[in-house]
Amino acid sequence: MKLLIGLLIGIIITFATPFLYYIYFYWFLAVMFFVIIYWIGFTLSFKNFFEFYLKEREKETYNNMVELLRAMRHEFINYFQVIQSLTELEQTEKLKDYLNTVNLEVDETGNILKIYHPEITLYLLNQLVEYNNKDIGFQLNVNTNMEKINESPNNITSFLDKIFNKINIEESNDITSCSIECEITEEAGYYPIIITVYDPSEPWKKEIDKLKDFKEVELYNWEEHLAIHMYIKKVKIEEGD
């Protein structure tokens, strides 16, 4: 806020200074000198603010990565404990079923890690952990590395975050019957991201309807579930490249 006020003051003084030339020349020179010093100081302040902002963003990213690794470590410890218990009890069939489940979850995580952009990878892994911690079913199917997106990865994660924040399943009448599926695929000119929400009560539906204003989004409604289709354009490749 202070920087914005400083910017406005600087603009006003800068545009007002030329009028002093017609009033008193020495005032004009003095104010002109002050304006130059002012903009040098403002530029240095803005540089310091921007560097501080980047450091805070970097710190937040590292914190998220640490929390994510802790959550994944906890999950793997749980896997080993269950496998050890089933092995000791010699419950072979249950052990096979559980290993199949673990394989699917590991494949799911592995496909996310294949995404070319670390910002998107980190965001999706965070979503996976968050919904798991809330005991809300969340299935993520990634069938592409999204290498050729024609959009900033941060813009994509910001828009996805806007969508997921509107899907407030915690407000549902029966959270145990709710789940979310997110599928990322690849087609000729774009990457479709399809988020399907299974929630019979849909108390958050009015918030989701607001997404109709965005041209990148299509909404499809059924009786007990809703699908949000988002399309990320690919970089155009010239013929012969």
Average pLDDT, the chain: 77
* 102 and 110 Cβ atoms separated by less than 8 Å: no
Residues 197 and 236 in one domain: yes
% residues pLDDT > 70 (the chain)? 70
* Highest mean pLDDT: which range of 19-28, 43-52, 158-167, 230-239: 158-167
Say which DSSP state 236 is in: P
pLDDT of residue 20: 57
**CB neighbours (10 Å) of residue 50?**
11
**pLDDT greater than 50 at residue 172:** yes
Most trustworthy range by pLDDT among 1-10, 188-197, 202-211: 188-197
What is the model's pLDDT at position 193? 92
Q: What average pLDDT does this structure show over 56-73?
A: 67
Residue 198 and residue 109 share a domain: yes
Same domain, 139 and 100: yes
Question: Are 119 and 157 within 8 A, CB to CB?
Answer: yes
In the listed set 87, 105, 124, which residue is the last one of a domain according to the structure?
87
Greater confidence (240 vs 23) lies with 23
Q: How many domains, the chain?
A: 2
pTM of the model: 0.64
Q: Pick from 68, 87, 106: which residue ends a domain?
A: 87
Q: Which contiguous run of DSSP H or E holds residue 198?
A: strand 190-198
pLDDT score of 194: 92
Q: Which tens digits make up the pLDDT trace of 225-239?
A: 888 888 898 886 544
Q: Tell me, yes or no, whether 39 and 107 share the same domain.
A: no
Shared domain for 102 and 191, answered yes or no, is: yes
**In 3D, which of 198, 194, 158 has the Cα closest to residue 176?**
198
Q: Do 161 and 195 belong to one domain?
A: yes
pLDDT at 184 over 90: yes
> Are 102 and 80 contacting, i.e. CB atoms less than 8 angstroms apart?
no
In 171-240, alpha helices (H): 205-209
Tell me: do 2 and 81 sit in the same domain.
Answer: yes
Range of the domain at 36: 1-87
CATH, residue 95: 3.30.565.10
Same domain, 128 and 166: yes
Q: Which residues contact 184 (CB under 8 A, 6 or more apart)?
A: 141, 142, 143, 144, 146, 191, 192, 193, 194
CA distances from 69 to 62, 105, 129, 220 (A): 11, 16, 10, 35
69 and 97 both lie in a single domain? no
Proportion of the chain above pLDDT 90, given as a percent: 5
* Alpha-carbon torsion (207, 210, 214, 219), positive or negative: positive
Burial 156-178 (b: 16+ CB within 10 A, else e): bbebbeebbebbebeebeebeeb
User: Which amino acid belongs to residue 100?
Assistant: N
Residue 183's pLDDT band (boundaries 50, 70, 90)? very high
What's the CA gap between 65 and 185, in Å, rounded? 25
Q: Which of 25, 52, 87 is the last residue of a domain?
A: 87
Q: How confident is residue 64, by pLDDT bands cut at 50, 70 and 90?
A: low
65 — pLDDT class (breaks 50, 70, 90): low
pLDDT, tens digit (0-9, with 9 covering 90-100), for 116-151: 888 898 888 888 878 877 888 888 889 899 989 988
Q: Does residue 158 share a domain with residue 61? A: no
Domain co-membership, 83 together with 21: yes
| Residues 96 and 202 reside in one and the same domain | yes
Whose CA is closest to 81, among 103, 108, 73, 66? 73
Task: Give the ranges where the chain is alpha helix by DSSP (H).
Answer: 2-20, 25-88, 92-113, 118-133, 153-166, 205-209
pLDDT score for 14: 64
Average pLDDT over residues 77-89: 82
Alpha carbon dihedral 58, 64, 65, 69, in 10-degree steps, equals 160
Reported confidence tier of residue 191, pLDDT bands at 50, 70, 90: very high
Question: Does 11 score more than 70 pLDDT?
Answer: no
**One-letter amino acid identity for 80?**
F
Average pLDDT over residues 164-170: 80
Contact yes or no for 53/42 (Cβ under 8 A): no
